[in-house]
Structure 1
Amino acid sequence: MDALTERMRAFIGAHVVPAEKSLMAGDAAALRRAQERARAAGLWGLPLPVALGGQGMALADYADVAIVEGHSDAGPAVCGSDLLLDTTMLDRYGSPAIRERYVRAMVAGDASPSFAMTEPGQAGSDPSGLTTTAVRDGDAYVLTGRKWFTSRATHAAFTTVACRTEDGGISLIVVPAGAGGLRIVREVPVLGAGGQYELALDGVRVGAEQLLGAPGEGLAIAGERLALGRTLRCLRWLGQARRAFDLMVARMRGRVVRGRPLADRELLHQYVFDSHAELAAAEALTRAAVAALTEGTGVKNAVATAKVVTARAYGTVVDRAIQVYGAEGLTDDTPLAMLHRGARAARILDGPDESHISAVARRLLTSPAAAVPS
């Protein structure tokens, strides 16, 4: 496993970080070139199922590699591991037609997924406010509504849409790209960067076989997806936070001010220690979340706790690194501005800190035994 982790570290450093600006800007040709290099290096699809063409690494084994792969936010897309959520969801809950059309194509790198849950004007953490509807009409569903914060929408082969069906529950329906009535309204800038989109569904008609699971099962399916997704995010955030930590340490060692390196300034030693301690705590909690998912026990508290602590650690470490770099840290001459955007979004993505904190606290007040195991 150490050898594989080191291979991934070398690959990310040689082929992903140098192309990072193009990859993060959505350059499809740059992404395709990097993905071909990942295949040639034997690093494509590490956690994807063997039966579908992946390498079948268990989450517990993949965790170390995921942290290194996450050193760059582009790493998972280059190595295909960002397909794990949609591949798992469609393979488990999709109809034979869905699985045949999309699953193997995703694992082969020939189809990109998109997922549309959040809606303009609605709290993303409160699915009871969902207004997009899917009305059954014979052997089809007709979808109407708006979605935003939908990534990869411009080049996705399909978008899985969370919608309210006539049973009153929430369902997930796979909408093919190019479906009549599906329209990209705009790209939504996020802290000055792109990559997120607002979609309109104006009477989009799709076959009933596009439903995942049964009507009304959407929240349960999405809950499974989110538990794994939040844990994967934590692993990747750890990689990016470590990158910021390494940049901060290198700057302190190499920057000389008034004849002394910054590393000699005792005030900055607090930055190093606090960052080290916060990252260690975040990693321990993230590994506890991996263990909970693997064992199927205590998942909610373990994942939510890891998500909050890791997102906060990511943000504070990046902030300290920027402070050590000074004005240069505010520019795009270093990765820190990009990391700062990711770190700030981390406290909102997949549910804001406050929602997770309240949910965990309520469970602990009801059952203290539900605490994350040590």
Structure 2
Amino acid sequence: MSIGFEIDERVADVARRTTDFVRDVVIAEERACDGNVHDGPEPLRRRLQEAARGAGVFAPHVAAGWGGLGMDLCGQAVVFEAAGYSLLGPLALNCAAPDEGNMHLLEKVATEEQKERYLRPLAAGTARSCFAMTEPAPGAGSDPRALATTATRIAGGWRVDGRKWFISGADGAAFAICMARTSGSPGDPGGATMFLVDADNPGMKIVRNIETLDQGLFGGHSEVLFEGCEVPDDAVLGEVDEGFAYAQVRLAPARMTHCMRWLGVARRAQDIALERAAHRSAFGRPLAELGMVQQMLADSEIDIETGRAILWRSCWELDQGRPAAQHTSIAKTYVSEAVNRVVDRAVQVCGALGISADAPLSRLYREVRPFRIYDGPSETHRWAIAKRAVRAARERGAAR
């Protein structure tokens, strides 16, 4: 097995241009709105994406045939981290959640007609989308098998009924990819199907936008009601009853792209801490010469580099088509917690400045905390990691 750490020159060039673009254009826009885009200001999104096109960094993850730069996950890891240096960088490049994950899913699963109708405008940035799977308790959450939303056959199609919540980007989305149970009961491991539901469908309604700790996801997080929501047969994405399998097509890479973007946030927080430590003096010496501050700076460098290493390993496995569930779970767990540690240390190094609005750290702090819950909480991933490790140990023992 050969894993290289060389960065392709084309990827490096896009990453350099992304770094410059974020520094020169995006951060100013982030400061102007204080990173709060829950209300979905369309003029801001379109302005940023048009600027990203002009800089040649738009849609690095999308295949060239759909208007993107066609990078694999290893390439995306470099560019997405550069974009993530600002909370609005991924939005500008059109590689923010949930649209980025939905583009990947549509490329892999959709029919050609569905790609033209849904993927093309999504890839071009002329439309947004959401992924409607999570439900209020006792429905689907960290355990997707608890899926309670149902889809019932009717003449010429299906009727979807159920309540979803914490549906990111639903407010203003042109369509939803909705997970509904077409067979079995909540708790069963199969029986889910994905449906493409246009936002103007009278059976799909946004009940409310949920106030949350984070404010940097465009369109926020919504509670969505599907009630007598009728869709035609050609609204089925993929095959009936195969929704859980397709969810894995989306979720494993999406967990890694989350890690990419958040590593950019960690790098920004660390840069702020380094700048403060180098120029702020206390007790007659720069902070950077005080042992406890040095330990915090060093630990953050270790967290960033270690997180990047396991992320790149996981991306390489996915690009190679290898089974990557274990490493993607490890990467998601480690990076989500490491990013929180890095931002927390940066706040501590900066002291009162760190918790003030004069520096962006308090804003970053709010944004990164939910990452330990999104796309599977750390506890769920640890359970899965241990389960796989024990199974592998038993298989090795049986083979002796």
Name the TM tier (shorter chain): over 0.9
**Letter aligned with residue 321 of structure 1:** A
SS in 1 for 2:211: strand
Q: How does 1:1-374 map to 2 (within 5 A)?
A: 1=9, 2-21=12-31, 22=33, 24-25=36-37, 26-82=40-96, 83-122=99-138, 124-166=141-183, 169-191=191-213, 193=215, 195-368=220-393
CA RMSD of aligned residues (A): 1.9
Write the deviation string for residues 63-120 of structure 1: whole angstroms up to 9, x where unpaired: 2112111112321221122343212212332244422211111111111111111111
Deviates more, 1:305-314 or 1:290-299: 290-299
TM-score, reference length from structure 1: 0.94
Moved more, 168-177 or 190-199: 190-199
The separation in 2 between residues aligned to 1:52 and 1:369, in whole angstroms, is 46
Determine the C-alpha separation between the residues in 2 that align with 1:368 and 1:334.
Answer: 48
Aligned partner of 2:398 in structure 1 is none
CA contact 2:214–2:367 (8 Å) conserved in 1 = no
One-letter identity of the residue aligned with 2:147 = L
Q: Provide the rounded CA distance (Å) in 2 between the counterparts of 1:208 and 1:24.
A: 38
RCO higher in structure (CA 8 A, sep ≥6) = 2
Structure 2 letter corresponding to 1:116: A
Structure 2 distance, partners of 1:92, 1:301, is 22
Give the distance between the partners of 2:249 and 2:214, measured in 1 at CA.
31
Q: CA separation of 1:192/1:63 partners in 2, compared to 1, >3 Å: closer, same or farther?
A: closer
- Unaligned ranges ≥5, structure 2: 1-8, 186-190, 396-400
| Contact kept in structure 2, 1:95 and 1:210, CA below 8 Å | no
Deviations 1:196-248 (Å, cap 9, x if unpaired)? 11111111111111111111111000111000000111111111111111111
Distance in 2 (alpha carbons) for counterparts of 1:4 and 1:119: 38
Asked if structure 2 preserves the Cα contact closer than 8 Å seen for 1:24 and 1:74, the reply is no
State the 1:260 CA deviation. Answer: 2.5
C-alpha contact 1:244 1:318 (8 A) present in aligned 2 = yes
Segment of structure 1 superposing worse, 270-279 or 90-99 = 90-99
Q: TM-score, normalised by structure 2?
A: 0.88
Amino acid at match of 1:161: C
Q: Which moved more, 1:344-353 or 1:95-104?
A: 95-104
The answer (yes or no) to whether the contact 1:330–1:337 under 8 Å persists in 2 is: yes
Return the alpha-carbon distance in structure 1 between the equivalents of residues 179 and 225 of structure 2: 13
Contact 1:71 1:243 in 2 (8 A): yes
Query: Structure 2 counterpart of 1:129, which letter?
Result: A
Q: CA deviation at 1:4?
A: 2.3
- CA-CA distance at 1:368 after TM superposition: 4.5
Task: Report the alpha carbon displacement of residue 328 of structure 1 after superposing the two structures with TM.
Answer: 2.5
**Runs (5+) with no aligned partner, structure 1:** none
In the TM superposition, residue 192 of structure 1 has moved relative to its aligned partner by 6.1
Q: Report the CA distance shift for 1:96/1:58 in structure 2 as closer, same or farther (over 3 A).
A: closer
Judge conservation of contact 2:214–2:370 (CA < 8 Å) in 1.
no
My pick for the range that moved more, 88-97 or 121-130, is 88-97
TM-aligned CA deviation for residue 165 of structure 1:
1.0
**C-alpha distance in 1, partners of 2:112/2:151?**
21
Aligned AA (1:179): N
Aligned AA for 1:104? R
For 1:241, the aligned partner's letter is: A
What secondary structure, in the 3-state scheme, does the structure 2 residue paired with 1:367 have?
helix
- Aligned-residue offset at 1:315: 0.4
Q: In the aligned structure 2, how far is the partner of 1:71 from the partner of 1:131? A: 38
Q: Distance in 2 between matches of 1:4 and 1:125?
A: 35
